[in-house]
Amino acid sequence: MADADRPRLDPDGLDLRAVSRHLTALLTKRVGADQLTLVEDAVQDAFVAALRTWGTQGTRPADPVAWLYRAAWHRLVDQFRRVSHASLDVDAPVSVADPNPLPLAEGHPDAELRLVLLCCHPTLSAESQVALTLKIAAGFSVPEIARLLGAAPDAVEQRLVRAKRSLRQSGVGLDPPRSELSRRSVVALDVLYGMFSEGYASLTAPTGLRRELCVEALRLIHLMLAEPATASPAGHALAALFAFHLSRLDARFDDAGVFQALGDQDRQRWNRKAIAVGLDHLRRSTGGPALTRYHLEAEIASCHAVADSYAATDWTRIIGLYDALLEQWPTRTARLARAVAIGERDGPRAGLAALDGLPGSEGDPIHLAAIARCWERAGEHERAALWYRRALDAASVPGIRRTLQAALRRVGQADVQIEPQTDVGSARVDPS
Partner 1 sequence: MAEYVMMLWENPAAFASASPAEIEQIIKEYVAWREQMGAAGKITGGKKLRDEGGKHLKGGTVADGPYAEVNEIVGGLFFVRAKDYDEAVAIARSCPHLKFGWVELREVEPT
The residues binding partner 1 (CB under 8 A) are: 3-4, 6, 8-9, 11-12, 14-17, 19-20, 44, 47-58, 60, 78, 139-144, 153
Name the DSSP letter for residue 8. P
Q: Which is nearer to partner 1, 151 or 279 (CB)?
A: 151
Alpha helices in 93-137 (DSSP H): 109-119, 126-132
Q: Which is nearer to partner 1, 78 or 346 (CB)?
A: 78
**Nearest distance from residue 243's CB to partner 1, in Å?**
25
CA distances to 201, 388, 404, 423 from 398, rounded to whole Å, are: 15, 15, 10, 8
Q: Which is nearer to partner 1, 54 or 310 (CB)?
A: 54
For residue 397, the SS3 value is coil
Beta bridge partner(s), residue 259: 253
| CA distance linking residue 361 with residue 369, whole number of Å | 10
Q: Which is nearer to partner 1, 97 or 414 (CB)?
A: 97
Q: Which is nearer to partner 1, 140 or 387 (CB)?
A: 140
**Nearest distance from residue 1's CB to partner 1, in Å?**
9
CA atoms within 13 A on the CB side of 74: 12
Residues 235, 189 contacting (CB under 8 angstroms): yes
Q: Which is nearer to partner 1, 77 or 241 (CB)?
A: 77
**Nearest distance from residue 220's CB to partner 1, in Å?**
17
**Nearest distance from residue 55's CB to partner 1, in Å?**
3
Counting every residue, how long is the chain? 432
Residues 275, 243 contacting (CB under 8 angstroms): yes
**Nearest distance from residue 19's CB to partner 1, in Å?**
7
**Nearest distance from residue 222's CB to partner 1, in Å?**
21
Give every CB contact of residue 29 below 8 A, 6+ residues apart in sequence.
Answer: 108, 111, 114, 174
Residues 338, 326 contacting (CB under 8 angstroms): yes
